[in-house]
Amino acid sequence: MSIETLIQDPAIPAEAGAVLASPYDPTDFDQSVMTTYGRFPLALERGSGCRVWDTQGKEYLDFVAGIATCTLGHAHPAMVETVTQQIQKLHHVSNLYYIPEQAKLAKWLIEHSCADRVFFCNSGAEANEGAIKLARKYAHQVLKIDQPIVLTAHASFHGRTLATITATGQPKYQKDFSPLVPGFHYVPYNDIKAIAAAISELDEGDRAVTAILLEPLQGEGGVRPGDKAYFQEIRRMCDETGILLILDEVQVGMGRSGKYWGYEHLGIEPDIFTSAKGLGGGIPIGAVMCKAFCNVFQPGDHASTFGGNPFACATALSVCETLERENILENVQQRGEQLREGLHAIAAKYPKQITEVRGWGLINGMELKADSPLTAADVVKAAIAEGLLLVPAGPKVIRFVPPLIVSVQEIDTALQVLEKVMGSW
């Protein structure tokens, strides 16, 4: 679940922002911008590393990172340099021409993943749309299935376009937007029997399951890591039947899990996978990646005006090269362990409030007890008032997704604030 939905939840008091030290007057904003988000009355103006400052000058430790997006934090010198140089040189041209920056980024991605080919777009939803289109074309052309079905999981999150809210197995995102896109069916996550049953039940006439779309770790749905045995069995079933395995790596990919890709934790390789959030470190870019055998797009099949422009690709490449050059994955693993250790200690201290701590690398969740009146939004609001930015993932899970460059001291500070906040109930 995303923060906007939570804060729109009627259970959360409208005066949520009153606890904040630096309220932002939203009048002009709300009179001109559509109210698609419930927002904290806080406007951030400046950032450096893992710190951000609001319009009143108050400092926050940023454990949201634009929701798992600002891989290198704020104002990272490598990004500043690349952005500055590229905007002066060439920022946008059409995909009617070759874009060398695209080739460099695609090559880096191919060398650091199981992919053979890459398509660039601008966001996670768009990347998943592209993956769904690619899988449908493969179903029609190669599998010869007229009515292909994509299986997705309950509590998943795949984006906000029509096809991706349909793929998202959460009715609250679909409400009021019917008719949805046909060809999707939902199964419980981490439940192999359910997926096997759905594949055989849906196979009828010219209809069949031709793709399975899953997150390696469910992000918005509550920071739930995928089960290794479950994914390995799915991989085996896909190999046996020709069904495509598509992984949505939009949130967990690009190093956030302590490995470049979430699938590396599961001991499998997808046929198609998507990336966005962390890929550009905060510059909008998304990617659809696939193995050679399902690389079925041809000229005219898919396109994007902005997708893969020189500016976005050069910046994303500087993020990728910095991750590698500065050995940031090691930091993700070590800081992740430090964070989980601290969260476990807090959970042990407040057993009436906290039920579980889970995650990989620097995507972690702390789940509050179902029978406790405390919600994730309560904790997030109290943390903001103490200068720590956090984000819920569902009504009961607090999500920790700091920049991947977060330091030992910053993790300690965040844990101290959280401990203070938890102690106030």
Binding site per annotation, positions for N(2)-acetyl-L-ornithine: 160, 304
Rule CB under 6 A: say whether 248 interacts with ligand PLP. yes
Rule CB under 6 A: say whether 125 interacts with ligand PLP. yes
Outline where DSSP puts E strands in 40-179. Answer: 44-48, 51-54, 59-62, 117-121, 147-153
User: What is the DSSP annotation of 154-172?
Assistant: BT----SSHHHHHHSB-HH
* Nearer to ligand PLP (CB atom), residue 128 or residue 315: 128
Rule CB under 6 A: say whether 359 interacts with ligand PLP. no
| Shortest reach from residue 107's CB to ligand PLP, in Å | 23
Rule CB under 6 A: say whether 347 interacts with ligand PLP. no
Count, in order, helices (H) and strands (E) of the chain. Answer: 14, 17
Rule CB under 6 A: say whether 220 interacts with ligand PLP. yes
* Nearer to ligand PLP (CB atom), residue 37 or residue 293: 37
Rule CB under 6 A: say whether 261 interacts with ligand PLP. no
Q: Which stretch binds ligand PLP (CB under 6 A): 122-130, 182-190, 199-207, 411-419?
A: 122-130
CA distances in angstroms from 259 to 14, 107, 343, 383, listed in the order given: 40, 18, 21, 29
| Shortest reach from residue 161's CB to ligand PLP, in Å | 8
Instruction: Report the alpha-carbon distance of residue 57 to residue 60 in Å, rounded.
Output: 10
Rule CB under 6 A: say whether 169 interacts with ligand PLP. no
Rule CB under 6 A: say whether 123 interacts with ligand PLP. yes
Shortest-Cβ-distance residue relative to ligand PLP: 124
Rule CB under 6 A: say whether 70 interacts with ligand PLP. no
| Shortest reach from residue 18's CB to ligand PLP, in Å | 29
Instruction: Report the alpha-carbon distance of residue 52 to residue 123 in Å, rounded.
Output: 24
* Residues in region 275-294 near ligand PLP by CB under 6 A: 276-277
Q: Which stretch binds ligand PLP (CB under 6 A): 57-65, 123-131, 222-230, 388-396?
A: 123-131
Task: Calculate helix-pair angle for 310-325, 328-349, nearest 10 degrees.
Answer: 70
Rule CB under 6 A: say whether 250 interacts with ligand PLP. yes
Is 104 within 8 Å of 324 (Cβ atoms)? no
> By rule CB under 6 A, what count of residues binds ligand PLP?
15
Q: Are strands 354-360 and 147-153 parallel, antiparallel or unpaired?
A: unpaired
Q: Which stretch binds ligand PLP (CB under 6 A): 25-33, 49-57, 74-82, 247-255?
A: 247-255
| Shortest reach from residue 248's CB to ligand PLP, in Å | 5
Rule CB under 6 A: say whether 251 interacts with ligand PLP. yes
Side chain identity at residue 86, one-letter code: Q
Rule CB under 6 A: say whether 219 interacts with ligand PLP. yes
User: What is the DSSP annotation of 6-36?
Assistant: HHHSTTS-GGGGGG-SS----HHHHTTS---
Neighbour tally for 300: CB within 10 Å: 6
| Shortest reach from residue 257's CB to ligand PLP, in Å | 12
Burial of 205 (0-12, 13-18, 19+ CB in 10 A): exposed
| Shortest reach from residue 83's CB to ligand PLP, in Å | 19
Structure tokens at 56: 């009143």
Structure tokens at 293: 């055998």
Residue 369 carries which DSSP code? Answer: P
Annotated binding site: 124-125, 157, 160, 248-251, 304-305
Site residues (vs ligand PLP, CB under 6 A) = 123-125, 128, 157-159, 215, 219-220, 248, 250-251, 276-277
